[in-house]
Structure 1
Amino acid sequence: MYSLRRLRLLREVAARGSLAAAAAALGQDPSSVSHQLKILETEVGAALLERVGRGVRLTEEAQILVTRTEAVLRELEAAEAEIAEVRHRVGGTVRIAAFQTALHTIVPGTLARLARDHPELTVITTHIRTEDAVPALLARDFDLVLQEDYPSRPARRDDGVETEVLGDDELCLITPAEPASSESAAGGPGASGPGLAECAHHAWAMEPADTRAGHWSRAECRRAGFEPEVRTDSSDNVLLVRLVSLGLASALVPRMSLRAAASTGIDSARITMSDLPEPASRRISTAIRRGSARTPRIIALRSALAEEFARL
């Protein structure tokens, strides 16, 4: 029978694209990983890796092993969940990754709830780009990730992932407030400001074009009949809101970004929020690996996230 430890090493190489990256992810020396994979090749009786530039490519035999290894790991994860469920214990360590605005808003309250209700549970939290979240989840870097879906570019679905919707976050146009209207501005419901088409001449702050948010923002401007002049290109939503508050740009952001910015002391009275020509929202979900949904710590984490999202 093949060594599960060596099969996991092969799976890591498949996920990371190189021996060095796999070794770094596992905290091992590359030469040790290479040695273990050579032993696995001997056990299998076939070459498993082919050099391609600075990386490696899996042979057909290796692909078969990786596919089967994924199935074995899912079964083991499900077994762990069932045993933890029988023991009724919420403890151990759970690793989560989230995008920036969630870290400013949903996550802190979630951590406080978990610390209060489940003191034996250790939560490790990491900031991650939404586009990188599911690959990192499948690579087992995290146990749960927060996702965001935008109208023009929904997230890719993967058979190895289970998602659960937390809710929708309204998307809006924010512009610098006029001095006379600054007291009544700031993004509250019903705040009135210029329409999107009226902002064609504005300077813009947007997320990068290769992100879901950046793709949606540019598409929205084009639907309004203009190509935005993007002077600030950043995935830092708090920075985008700050630039608007300083009168340096306009932006298309989720409402949660305004709450995140307010938590850092940005003066929302300097911002006017306007409705979009057609109402739109981003959908926020939790994603876990298939088979782990019954794990008590995952159940507790999802419940706390849902409660905190509803409170906000």
Structure 2
Amino acid sequence: MFDLHRLRLLRELKDRGTLAAVAAALSYSPSSVSQQLSQLESEVGVRLLEPVGRRVRLTPQAEILVAHTEAVLERLERAEADIATSLTDLTGTLRVASFQTAARTLVPTALTLLREAHPGLRVHLTQMEPEESLSALLARDFDLVIAEEYPGLPNPRPAGIEQEDLCEDPLHLAPPQLASHLAPPVPASDAQSPIAALRALADHPWAMEPAGSAARHWATTLCRHAGFEPDVRFESSDLLLHLRLVERGHAAALLPGLLWDKQPATVALRQLPRGQRARRLFTAVRSGRSHHPAVVACRRALRQAT
């Protein structure tokens, strides 16, 4: 019988990449993690790790073992959910990760609903972009992730994650407010064209999310389809900063509807081309955990909050 704790360490190494990262995540020393994995190799009777420069990688046999470990852990997730369902009161801690705009607008209302319905449930919230939070979900750093998907850019769907749609969030073009008179003229016959509105801002500075993010890839692609390369002078994942730059005429931006939290928009908004007018918001949990009462309650509260 293989030791489950050591199997989880091997799985953590696959997800996190280095012994140091595993040790930091689990509050162990790297030498302790290495020792435990050496003992697992003795139990299994084959090499599980092989050196690659200063790092190690899993052998094919270790990959087989991790696949079986995933199945075992999923069964344990289901067992935990069944036990929680059998209890009268919902208690414990639910660890949630959310990107900024959802954390600002949807989560506070959902927390209020959860507190009223389940006062014994403790919710721990971390603001994190989906590029990181979905990987952290698989690594068991979180129980539920609120994430986004931009038009034309479907997210990878790992086998170990179950997604549930939450809502669609409208996306708009926001020209720089105080500098709108400087924009190149748009022909009157084409004044309402979303593509023309984008092209009219080709020579203006832009505020966008950092390079490498899904939002940045989508925004850059949108501008390129309109025939220009955006002059990105302001990079930040803080969309409130984007909004302030637009309000003061320093930049154009692409802003989501959630930014105003059901209040009137504070800047003029233009429509985007068809097929690019909304991002998809969804919640994600590990396979086997979707029926856990805390997850069910949180998803219900988030749906009410939308």
Shift of 1:136: 0.9
Aligned partners of 1:25 and 1:54: how far apart in 2?
20
Aligned partners of 2:273 and 2:158: how far apart in 1?
33
Aligned partners of 1:219 and 1:179: how far apart in 2?
24
How has the CA–CA distance of structure 1 residues 42 and 240 changed in structure 2, closer, same or farther, with 3 Å as cutoff? same
Aligned partners of 2:55 and 2:116: how far apart in 1?
46
Letter paired with 1:56: V
Q: Does 1:226 align with 2:222?
A: no
Correspondence 1:110-259 to 2 at 5 A: 110-178=110-178, 195-259=197-261
Letter paired with 2:23: A
* DSSP-derived class of the 1:158 partner: coil
* DSSP-derived class of the 1:51 partner: strand
Counterpart of 2:8 in structure 1 is: 8
Shift of 1:295: 0.8
Q: Does 1:307 align with 2:298?
A: no
Shift of 1:241: 0.9
Shift of 1:222: 1.4
Which string of whole-angstrom CA distances, capped at 9 and with x for unpartnered residues, describes residues 164-211 of structure 1? 111100110012335999xxxxxxxxx999822211121100112321
Unaligned runs of 5+ in 1: 182-190
Aligned partners of 2:141 and 2:173: how far apart in 1?
35
Counterpart of 1:276 in structure 2 is: 272
* DSSP-derived class of the 1:272 partner: coil
Letter paired with 1:306: R
Which string of whole-angstrom CA distances, capped at 9 and with x for unpartnered residues, describes residues 266-289 of structure 1? x954x2111113252100000011
* 8 Å CA contact retained: 1:90, 1:300: no
* 8 Å CA contact retained: 1:164, 1:287: yes
Off by >3 Å, runs of 4+ in structure 1: 178-181, 191-194
- Cα RMSD (Å) of the superposition? 2.2
| Number of residue equivalences | 294
Aligned partners of 2:135 and 2:110: how far apart in 1?
24
How has the CA–CA distance of structure 1 residues 301 and 280 changed in structure 2, closer, same or farther, with 3 Å as cutoff? same
How has the CA–CA distance of structure 1 residues 192 and 104 changed in structure 2, closer, same or farther, with 3 Å as cutoff? farther
Q: TM-score, normalised by structure 2?
A: 0.90
Counterpart of 2:189 in structure 1 is: none
Correspondence 1:64-83 to 2 at 5 A: 64-83=64-83
* 8 Å CA contact retained: 1:97, 1:133: yes
Q: TM-score, normalised by structure 1?
A: 0.89
Letter paired with 1:254: P
Alignment identity in percent? 49
Q: Does 1:285 align with 2:282?
A: yes
Counterpart of 1:186 in structure 2 is: none
Which string of whole-angstrom CA distances, capped at 9 and with x for unpartnered residues, describes residues 242-286 of structure 1? 1111111010121112439x8xxxx954x2111113252100000
Shift of 1:60: 1.5
Unaligned runs of 5+ in 2: 182-191
